[in-house]
Chains A and B, each alone.
Chain A
Amino acid sequence: MINRTSDSKTSAVIPAAPPETAAVIEVKGLKYTYGRAEAVHDLNLTVKPGRCYGLFGRNGAGKTTTMKCLLNLLRPQGGSVRLFGLDPSRHEVEVKRRIGYVPDYVAFYPWMTVRETLDYLASFRSHWNTETERDLLNRFRLAPDQRTGGLSKGQRTQVALVAAICPEPELLLLDEPTSGLDPIVRREFIETVIGAYQEGDPGKRTILVSTHLITEFEGLIDEFTIVDKGHDVLSLHADAARDRYQKIRARFAHEPPAVEFTGALHVRRQGRELELIANGEGPQIMEVLSRLAPESLTSEGLTLEEVFVATLK
């Protein structure tokens, strides 16, 4: 394998730090194909500092491939990836110094104890908050002298989270961190991210979580991108999404007239009832329906998971 960073001049010159409001992650037109299967094509993603960003998509949509390109585990075949304004393939150490990562499959050396694993991982870091480590080990009730090979999946994920948070990185990358975990462990995971990680200077605490378990992360997410078949389909702020998408239900005295609704998704009619999902035109649709004198007319917002399903079905 050719080491493209062997040019000592290039790797020695680290560009000046980008200004405060510059994106932490900037992905433009990303392209990656495995053999003949196009996993990612023309994917765009921007994550600003201090945000908690969700990358949502079905299994096989291209989320993990994207994550791997961010981590320089895969080289993009087209487009560009920048973290902190830097190309992770050319400034790997500089970028990775500032990241904490919890992968979907957590693997440690099974013969190492929890203590040995954390010491080993801490040795790669210039900064490690030992007080946070102590608090988290207590909170998770992890015995330091237990071998990681004997831990449950949830416990290994907890160790991985401790290892990701203690260096107090500027960016936390979470790839399906809670899949396969029981609901209690999942909740503790989220609480720990909010409590221990978000504690620092907000401008230096950015999170990207890639998941299809959206309900758990609903409260944490500020903005998200839905990825489908390798490219970005919808990018919104969470509050804007919950405001824009509304489930409207109406019941009429007789069969409802066949009216065309612009900006309505998934219109369902059954007998005297009508249900649809409004995409931005909620108030206008409510106005039209109320003029048809329905027996009842209600509207409610959608959770992010419901927005996800409505967008992709």
Chain B
Amino acid sequence: MLLQVNYKSGKPVYLQVVDQIKAAAAAGTLQSGESLPSIRPLAEELRVNRNTIAKAYTELESQGVIETIPGKGCFVRPNNSPLKKDVRRKLLMEELDQVIVQAHHLQVPAGEFLELVRERLGVMEEKQRANQAKEFGA
């Protein structure tokens, strides 16, 4: 799995790593049980401070996306979040509010915005189907 760091995005580097790994896990590009590179080689490859990667992995672990097995490495956890349903909803709501503010600044009206959401959900479903097919086809 190839990660990219964008220093112009205004987003902290560790968050970019967290988000990309979460996206890959959600789409099935990274499958549950699959191993992640360990901290040192990933930091070297991206030429990023080792503590930044360590912070990203700690965050991913606290969100239940990955787990560390001592002596073996880091693995993607199967998709069962340790958080309760209403907590998860609230977290998503906060993210949605931010996106709604962005849409306002970018002058995307509500109707178009919802269309866009449907479209992107479709894209994600496609990816998941494609990755599942690969998993069973292989």
A219 to B3 Cα, complex, angstroms: 14
Q: Smallest CB-CB separation from A217: which chain B residue?
A: B47
Residue numbers in A under 8 Å from B93 (CB-CB): none
A202 to B51 Cα, complex, angstroms: 8
Q: Smallest CB-CB separation from B107: which chain A residue?
A: A290
Interface presence of B9 (CB below 8 A): yes
A198 to B52 Cα, complex, angstroms: 11
Contact of A219 with B48 in the complex, beta carbons under 8 Å: yes
Residue numbers in A under 8 Å from B51 (CB-CB): 50, 52, 198, 202, 222
Interface presence of B56 (CB below 8 A): no
Residue numbers in A under 8 Å from B54 (CB-CB): 202
Interface presence of A35 (CB below 8 A): no
Nearest Cβ distance between residue A171 and chain B, in whole angstroms? 16
Contact of A199 with B40 in the complex, beta carbons under 8 Å: yes
A182-213 vs B, Cβ < 8 Å mask (1 yes, 0 no): 00000100110011001100100000000000
Contact (A194, B105) CB under 8 Å given A242-B10, A243-B10, A246-B10: no
Contact of A239 with B44 in the complex, beta carbons under 8 Å: no
Contact (A220, B10) CB under 8 Å given A290-B105, A297-B105, A297-B106: no
Within 8 A of A (CB), among B9-52: 9-13, 40-41, 43-44, 46-52
Contact of A301 with B10 in the complex, beta carbons under 8 Å: yes
Interface presence of A300 (CB below 8 A): yes
Contact of A219 with B106 in the complex, beta carbons under 8 Å: no
CB within 8 A of A194: which of B8, B12, B13, B43? B43
Residue numbers in A under 8 Å from B40 (CB-CB): 194-195, 198-199
Within 8 A of A (CB), among B56-91: none
Interface presence of A302 (CB below 8 A): yes
A239 to B13 Cα, complex, angstroms: 8
Within 8 A of A (CB), among B84-138: 104-107
Nearest Cβ distance between residue A53 and chain B, in whole angstroms? 11
Contact of A52 with B7 in the complex, beta carbons under 8 Å: no
Within 8 A of B (CB), among A81-139: none
A220 to B52 Cα, complex, angstroms: 9
Residue numbers in B under 8 Å from A290 (CB-CB): 104-105, 107
Contact of B50 with A300 in the complex, beta carbons under 8 Å: no
Contact (A303, B8) CB under 8 Å given A195-B43, A219-B13, A286-B105: yes
Contact of A194 with B49 in the complex, beta carbons under 8 Å: yes
Contact of A302 with B8 in the complex, beta carbons under 8 Å: yes
Interface presence of A218 (CB below 8 A): yes
A287 to B41 Cα, complex, angstroms: 42
A300 to B50 Cα, complex, angstroms: 26
A167 to B97 Cα, complex, angstroms: 51
A220 to B43 Cα, complex, angstroms: 9
Interface presence of A71 (CB below 8 A): no
Interface presence of A226 (CB below 8 A): no
Nearest Cβ distance between residue A20 and chain B, in whole angstroms? 16
Nearest Cβ distance between residue A167 and chain B, in whole angstroms? 19
A290 to B106 Cα, complex, angstroms: 8
A50 to B50 Cα, complex, angstroms: 10
Contact (A194, B47) CB under 8 Å given A286-B105, A287-B105, A297-B106: yes
16 residue pairs from A and B, CB less than 8 Å apart: A50-B51, A191-B44, A194-B43, A194-B48, A194-B50, A195-B44, A202-B50, A202-B51, A219-B47, A220-B47, A222-B51, A222-B52, A290-B104, A300-B9, A301-B9, A302-B8
- Chain B residues with CB under 8 Å of chain A are 5, 7-13, 40-41, 43-44, 46-52, 54, 104-107
Q: A198-B43, A219-B48 are in contact. List 5 more A-B contacts (CB 8 A).
A: A198-B49, A198-B51, A202-B50, A239-B12, A290-B104
